[in-house]
Amino acid sequence: MKRFFAQLYLWLLLAMLYAPIVIIGIFSFTESKVLGNWTGFSTELYTSLFNGGAHHSLLDAIKNTLSIALIAATASTILGSIAAIGIFNMRGRKKQVINLLNDIPMLNPDIITGISLFLLFVSLGISQGYTTVVLAHIAFCTPYVVLNVMPRLQQMNPNIYEAALDLGATPMQALRKVIIPEIRPGMISGFILAFTLSIDDFAVTLFTKGNEGLETLSTYIYADARKGGLTPELRPLSTIIFAVVLLLLIIINIRAKRNAKRNQAM
């Protein structure tokens, strides 16, 4: 009986959490401009989302979002992984300082990170646009990569790097053949995290995108909503995003389970 009420509570809460998404999902399959009017099943909104047409700028925003996320996630994975190896081998005060600085972007609210970077670009006289957004995204994504790679380094037998040197590998070969394979799972989860954080971001992008008309999905929705009406194509888009995130999370969970099994076997 207790169990029944507990489950009931959970599912009521989940219903509340998912109601908006479900409604958007349902109404993405009808043509009506206004949400809530069911005018019959149609995939028209999906077609027009991908054909662009009248909403050329929405498609641009999606492209920007994805390309920025890809560049930022790749750059922060490289920068963060190298940094993690460096920090792991540091000692004492310097290590504390760099760890503290690494924590700041994770603890800072987005708006503060956004404004601080805005002030940086303004004071340095750098005109804002695509490049500054990418730089800003690298700035708040890299700490998460470091955070994901670091535990792999800590778990790693400290002697395996030396074992590789001992067997005749140059430091670079040892890195490629031994260290990177060891930290790869951390790099992958760091990359995925960085990618989603970048796609998710709104505040930092808003402050660093300048006013040359660069839009990402978040800023597009924001601008659209401020103009009044919401573009109907946002409904199929949200549905797709939801589906992709669901898929990603399932993959990550399967990976985590597999890793846990592998660790148990050790």
Partner 1 sequence: MSIFSKLINRRSNWAVPYAIFLAIFVALPLLLIVLYAFQDAEGSFTLQNFVKFIRQPEAVNTFIYSIGIAIITTFLCILLGYPAAYILANANLNRSHTTVVLFILPMWINILVRTLATVALFDFAKLPLGEGALIFGMVYNFLPFMIYPIYNTLQKMDHSLIEAAEDLGARPSVVFTKVVVPLSMPGVMSGIMMVFMPTISTFAIAELLTMNNVKLFGTTIQENINNGMWNYGAALSLIMLIIIGVTSLFSDGDEQSDSESLI
Partner 2 sequence: MAKQSDTIIKIEHLSKSFGEKRVLDDINLDIKRGEFVTLLGPSGCGKTTLLRLLAGFARADEGKISMEGRDISDIPPHKRPLNTVFQRYALFPHLNVFDNIAFGLKLNKVPSKDIESRVRRALKMVSMTDYESRDVNSLSGGQQQRVAIARAIVNRPQVLLLDEPLAALDLKMRKDMQMELKEMHSTLGITFIYVTHDQEEALTLSDTVVVFSEGRIQQIGAPIDIYNEPVNSFVADFIGESNILNGTMIRDREVEFIGHRFECIDEGFGQNTAVDVVIRPEDIYLINNLENAAFTGTIKSCTFKGVHYEMFVETDKGYELMIQDYNAFEVGSTIGMLVKPSDIHVMRKERTCNTFEGTMIAPDKVEMLGAEFECNDTGLKAGDKVRVRVDFRNVSLLDYKEDGALFGEVKFILYKGDHYHLTVLTDNGDNIYVDTNDIWDNSDVVGISIAPRHLRITKRV
- Binding-site ranges for partner 2 (CB under 8 A): 157, 159-160, 162-171, 173-174, 177-178, 181-182, 262, 265-266
Nearest partner of 193 among 149, 151, 257, judged by Cα: 149
Q: Which stretch binds partner 1 (CB under 8 A): 2-10, 43-51, 55-63, 66-74?
A: 2-10
Which is nearer to partner 2, 33 or 176 (by Cβ)?
A: 176
Distance of alpha carbon 261 from alpha carbon 181, whole angstroms? 18
Query: What type of residue is 82?
Result: I
Based on the number of CB atoms within 10 Å of its own CB, is 105 exposed (0-12), middle (13-18) or buried (19 or more)? Answer: buried
Which of partner 1, partner 2, none lies near 192, with the C-beta cut-off 5 to 8 A by kind? partner 1
What does 195 bind: partner 1, partner 2, none (CB cut-off 5 to 8 Å by kind)? none
Residue showing tokens 């008309």: 213
Q: Which stretch binds partner 1 (CB under 8 A): 47-55, 56-64, 66-74, 133-141?
A: 133-141
For partner 1, give the closer residue by CB, 48 or 113. 113
Quick one: which segment of 46-54, 56-64, 66-74, 235-243 binds partner 1 (CB under 8 A)?
Answer: 235-243
Please give the Cα distance from 238 to 174 (Å, whole number). 45
Instruction: Quote the least distance from Cβ 188 to partner 2, whole Å.
Output: 14
Residue 90 within binding range of partner 1, rule CB under 8 A = yes
Under DSSP, the state recorded for 129 is: S
Of 79 and 169, nearer to partner 2 (C-beta) is: 169
Stretch 38-67: interaction string toward partner 1, x if CB under 8 A: ------------------------------
Q: Which of 223, 199, 201, 214 is nearest to 60 (CA)?
A: 214
Cβ contact 84:182 at 8 Å: no
Between 33 and 177, whose beta carbon lies closer to partner 2? 177
Rounded Cα distance between 107 and 101, Å, is 10
Q: If binding is defined by CB under 8 A, does position 238 make contact with partner 1?
A: yes
Furthest CA-CA distance within the chain: 72
